[in-house]
Structure 1
């Protein structure tokens, strides 16, 4: 059974008149993989630096293993941080980069050699031990930085957007590598990202942040399928927003702000009185699915046309031969609708 391992309690951070964090509080269980997710400037990297001891909070405290470590120096926290730039020493070999922190901790030469060999094997870089960072690819440098952090056997590993500088294919591979290393080492891992796909595929729990505040905490399934606000719904995945009044007679709550994921909108392949008429404005091929952009034929003839996005499996789209300017019928399954208060809109979508 997991237990509360790391606790962030009422942490705020101000830089002059600018508030980077506002009363952030949540607990992390031992061995969890947490993603801090949010747009640029939401405070996630500032929170990571406070956890690492590189910044001091204006108010609040950080508790690890039941001990207040808020003012403890970085080297005495049992927390390792991997920076976005990797921060490798260009004049040291891969093995020397990994050994650097161990030498600082006065490990013996034999113990250092054994640990370096162990972590190089974990990241599949045994053959690169004698190379310099400049001789490695970006993905290899990232793995060296990971190995260096893991070698210190920290209680908590902090990752600051570690994959942002890599191309898409390498990024996808290293997502799996980082997750595997997390599971092998059993460390508590906290990763900052603004990439929703990284958070959804890697995290046990996602902490969604906006304007220095935590707006939702939950499993990837929770935040995707049950977002607490239009902001979360809009930030994580594609979403359609519309007002309930647009479909009086079809939907139950005419005064609500409604939302539905593109993959949940159904395109009907037969005539029915319950179908919502629409016209296909454009079609995008996305490999395993097609994304359709539709304009609803609004019975109310509103001055603001309602447009919906649908993700249709490739086989279905090909079978139905969907094309631009085609007239179609839609169905919005009630069980898939997300309902928010109307005043929660604030420009979502």
Structure 2
């Protein structure tokens, strides 16, 4: 039987009558980077706070390295948490902020100085050691907060939406930085995010959550290519949904739903026996590719379907795409996803 490094077993959390988490069970390997992904209010941060010891579960238990930590206070868990706001002390310099947690561990002055120096060097901010948080950019503050957490040599590093307050370019750079440090120091990392791109690019394992429950656990490739439910398919990347009866050879089944990713639909200039007619309604240029919106209505059908396709720029230009142009759609069977009908994110709203 496989022994997981961190095991969350049947954990629930209630605040009065409100259930923030319902029977959460997750297994995490040592040195694994796990993203808790889901919409706001789904219970991600509550679960992270329970791992840190800042909240107690109503039911269930948590085991770390073979030791139950469910009721242990934060100071006895050797788990470091980096908060969304960074939580740096404004009256302490960058070096003093990093040293603070080490002093709490009662380390010697020389050892603390060496660890602070190493931590600053690790995030390439040795030159900012004497600066206060107000003198640092958002990205620099984030790196100091990260260095402070890693300097503690935690068994688990917890990250609560660490990049949400940063602009897009800084965010992309720091994604790579966090992942590099995770691998360099052989850490086990659990990160909360509602950003699908962060989860797909950073995680070894993604835990998709909704309404306090785990909906699917898998690698980024599994979650994206084989989503377990319409909710997961809709939350991770763009997706087209349509009724099962849309295909002539498919019997109408109100409980079945078909879906396909925008990059998997083929757009052709000529009709064939496997194609369906559609008209381009909108075009968005997105740099390396075009996102194309089409209206799709077959003979005898009153309702129009709306479809989204992604085409690399060179292919879009070759096809001469333009608003109002009639094209032909082809749906490769190997890329079609089939679901039991369940509400998508839009239908839930």
TM class by smaller structure: over 0.9
Contact 1:34 1:205 in 2 (8 A): yes
Name 1:7's counterpart in structure 2. 7
In the alignment, structure 1 residue 275 sits paired with structure 2 residue 275: yes
Q: Which ranges of 4 or more aligned residues in structure 1 deviate by more than 6 Å?
A: none
Name 1:92's counterpart in structure 2. 92
Deviation per residue, 1:141-172 (Å, 9 max, x gap): 00000000000000000000000000000000
Distance 2:48 2:331 in 1: 41
- Describe how 1:106-145 pairs up with structure 2 within 5 A: 106-145=106-145
Name 1:75's counterpart in structure 2. 75
Please list every run of 5 or more consecutive structure 2 residues that lacks an aligned counterpart in the other structure. Answer: none
Distance 1:214 1:7 in 2: 14
Distance 2:251 2:116 in 1: 61
146 and 283 in structure 1: CA distance in 2 versus 1, 3 angstrom threshold? same
Question: Per the alignment, in what secondary structure is the counterpart of residue 4 of structure 1?
Answer: coil
Distance 1:269 1:254 in 2: 29
RMSD over aligned CA atoms reads 1.2
In the alignment, structure 1 residue 194 sits paired with structure 2 residue 194: yes
Q: After the TM superposition, which of the residue ranges 177-186 and 253-262 deviates more from structure 2?
A: 253-262
Name 1:340's counterpart in structure 2. 339
* Residues matched between the structures, number: 344
Contact 1:280 1:295 in 2 (8 A): yes
TM-score, normalised to structure 2's length?
A: 0.96
Distance 1:244 1:61 in 2: 42
TM-score, normalised to structure 1's length?
A: 0.96
Contact 2:24 2:214 in 1 (8 A): yes
Deviation per residue, 1:189-229 (Å, 9 max, x gap): 00000000000000000000000000000000000000000
Distance 1:139 1:18 in 2: 36
In the alignment, structure 1 residue 309 sits paired with structure 2 residue 308: yes
Name 2:318's counterpart in structure 1. 319
1:346 to partner: Cα distance: 5.5
1:309 to partner: Cα distance: 0.3
